[in-house]
Amino acid sequence: MFDPACRRCPRLSTYRDENGRAYPHYYNAPVPAFGSSHAYLLIVGLAPGLHGANATGRPFTGDYAGELLYRTLHEFGFSAASESRHAGDGLRLRDCRITNAVRCVPPQNRPAPEEVRKCLGYLKFDLDQHPADGVVLALGRVAHETVLRALGLRPLRYPFGHGARHDLPDGRILLSSYHCSRYNTSTRRLTPEMFRAVMAEARKLVGPHA
């Protein structure tokens, strides 16, 4: 179960403490998942951004990556609004839940493998609540491989790729996309059209549940 006071990772805990002093008005704590635990679409990102979810307390809220994510979710009916400004803005997701592989902001947006491992139980908890016939959308390779490890599967058997689809043994479907980070979108590694194509596939697979 999610622990909002978790301090399992010394480096991340120290970084959070430093940010708490530098930005005392920020959330500065492990960020919980957002949306119904029984939603058919579970989106898994990497980790909170320093001035995004770490500031607001809600995944992909307040940072650049969230702009493309929530706009696209709204376009395909998974979000009641196209913008996620702050945790108290009244935004509601529709049959969609958003979480991260790592719940605390990491320095340079790069969690260490050991930190990903220590956070695995929280993602496993989200997956245990997720419908057995649901769809998981992983944003980036780390999220993709972490989802598989949380399900007890070997990542090598389910390779990451933008737009990749894997039918998992438990009945779920794993979709993958490049992360909607500022770097990926500014370099055109991920275009809005590419991201919309993946979300369209998720919408088709989730179907009438929403």
Residue 100 tokens, joined: 């991260």
Decide yes or no: CATH 3.40.470.10 for domain 32-209. Answer: yes
Nearby residues of 157 by Cβ (< 8 Å), 6 or more positions away: none
Q: What pLDDT tens digit does each residue of the chain (210 aa) get?
A: 889 999 999 999 999 999 999 999 999 999 999 999 999 999 999 999 999 999 999 999 998 899 999 999 999 999 999 999 888 899 999 999 999 999 999 999 999 999 999 999 999 999 999 999 999 999 999 999 999 999 999 999 999 999 999 999 999 999 999 999 999 999 999 999 999 999 999 999 998 754
Distance CA 113, CA 135 (A): 25
CB 65 within 8 A of CB 179: yes
Give the chain's mean pLDDT.
95
8, 17, 44, 137, 144 from 140: Cα distances, Å: 24, 27, 9, 9, 6
User: What's this model's pTM, rounded to 2 decimal places?
Assistant: 0.96
Starting at the earlier edge strand, list the strands of the sheet with 173-177.
Answer: 96-100, 41-45, 135-139, 173-177, 165-167
Provide the pairing of β-strand 173-177 with 96-100. Answer: unpaired
Residue 141 tokens, joined: 């390779």
- Per DSSP, what are the bridge partners of residue 137? 43, 175
User: Coil, helix or strand for 67?
Assistant: helix
CB 35 within 8 A of CB 64: no
Q: What is the 3-state secondary structure (H, E, C) of 87-147?
A: CCCCCCECCEEEEECCCCCCHHHCCCHHHHHHCHHHHHHHHHHCCCCCEEEEECHHHHHHH
pLDDT of residue 209: 57
14, 43, 135, 163 from 151: Cα distances, Å: 30, 15, 13, 20
- Per DSSP, what are the bridge partners of residue 97? 42
pLDDT of residue 207: 86
Domain chopping of the chain, boundaries: 32-209
pLDDT of residue 91: 94
